[in-house]
Amino acid sequence: MYLQSDSSVIAVVTANALLVSGSPWPSPIECLEVLDNASVLVFLDEQDRKRVIESIQYDADDLLRALRSNTSTSWWWETRDLEFLRIVETKGDPPQSAEPRVVGNMRGAWWCEPNFWNRNGIVSAELSQSLPDNGGPVRLWCQDESAQPFNPLSTSPVSLESLRLYVINSPQDWRSLVKRYPRKFVIRGDSSDSFWFRTTGIEIQPDWTQVAKDYDGIHLTIGGYVTTAYVSMEIDNQYQTTLSGWNPGEAVIFDSTRLMR
C-alpha cells in the first residue's frame, strides 16, 4: 500500500486491523487497545514500518471512512464527556514557556502537550475523553507510546460549559492553531531512525502563552490523534509542524483553578 506524506500511519493501521477482525467490530474498549498497539509504529525503523504498511489491505480513504462510521469508533471525534484526571504539578523549574518538553529517556523524544506552558506558578489540569455509557476515561485503555504509565486513582465528570476550548479534531485544526499562534524552534537530527530524528529542520509549534490568552484549554480528541499525530505537515512551504507525544482524547486546561469556578 502507498501512503501519501500527509496520511496517518496510526489511523490506517488501526482501521486495517479492525476491518481484518471481521464484523461486527470489537467493543469500544477493544478498539482502543488496537489503537494503543498501533501507536508504537512511530518508534519502528524504516524497514519495519515499510513491512507494516505493505501488509495493509485497504485504501487509506476507505479506512478512515470506516473509523468514522462504525459505532465502536465514531465517538472518537466527539468532544463531550470529559473526565478529570489530575492536576499537573511542576517540580523544579519547568521548561521555557512554549518549548516542547523533552522526555527523559533513551529515545530522546519530545512532546508538545502544553502541561508545562507557564513559568509563573500556574498549574494545568489534565482531562480525558470518556468511553460511551460512562465507561471511564480513555487513558485507562490507551495512551501515546511516549507517555509515562499513569492510572488515575479516581476520576470525575467535568462541566466545560463556561470554558473556551480549542478542539483538535483533524490535521486542519492543528495546522490552523499553529499558523495563528506560531513559535519556531530547530530540530536537529542524528543517525537514529526514531520519529524525532527523522524530523529535522525548523519546526513550528503553538505558542501556548499566546493560546492561553484566547482559550482556557485545548482538547485533542481521539479522532484528532489518530489522523494528526506524528504526521509532518508543511507550513507556508518553508516550515514543518508535527503534533507529537500527546495522549489521545486528552485535554489540558491551562489554569486548573478554572475548573473550580
DSSP string, 170-229: SHHHHHHHHHHSEEEEEE---S--SHHHH--EEEEEE-HHHHHHH-SEEEE-HHHHHHHB
Grid cell of 27 as nine digits: 467493543
Q: Which residue has better confidence, 195 or 113?
A: 113
* Angstrom distance (rounded) from CA 99 to CA 145: 20
Q: What is the pLDDT of residue 95?
A: 41
- Which range (51-55, 88-92, 171-175) has the least confidence? 88-92
Q: What is the pLDDT of residue 165?
A: 92
- This prediction's pTM: 0.83
Q: What is the pLDDT of residue 35?
A: 92
Domain assignments of the chain as residue spans, ordered by start? 9-75, 77-260
Structure confidence by residue, pLDDT tens digits, 191-216: 444 454 455 567 788 888 889 899 99
Q: What is the pLDDT of residue 151?
A: 66
Q: Span 231-251, mean pLDDT?
A: 85
Residue 220 has pLDDT above 90, yes or no: yes
Structure confidence by residue, pLDDT tens digits, 47-58: 777 787 788 878
CA distances from 126 to 3, 94, 150, 220, 252 (A): 33, 17, 12, 11, 5
* Angstrom distance (rounded) from CA 248 to CA 196: 19
Q: What is the pLDDT of residue 244?
A: 82
- Which range (42-46, 153-157, 169-173, 188-192) has the least confidence? 188-192
**In angstroms, how far is the first alpha carbon of the chain from the final one?**
51
Q: Span 64-77, mean pLDDT?
A: 92
User: Parallel, antiparallel, or unpaired for β 217-220 and 165-168?
Assistant: parallel
CA distances from 26 to 10, 29, 30, 115, 209 (A): 18, 8, 6, 33, 41
Helix (H, G, I), strand (E, B) or coil at 76: helix
The vertex-76 CA angle with 74 and 77, nearest 5°, equals 85
The most confident of 84-88, 143-147, 197-201, 242-246, by mean pLDDT: 242-246
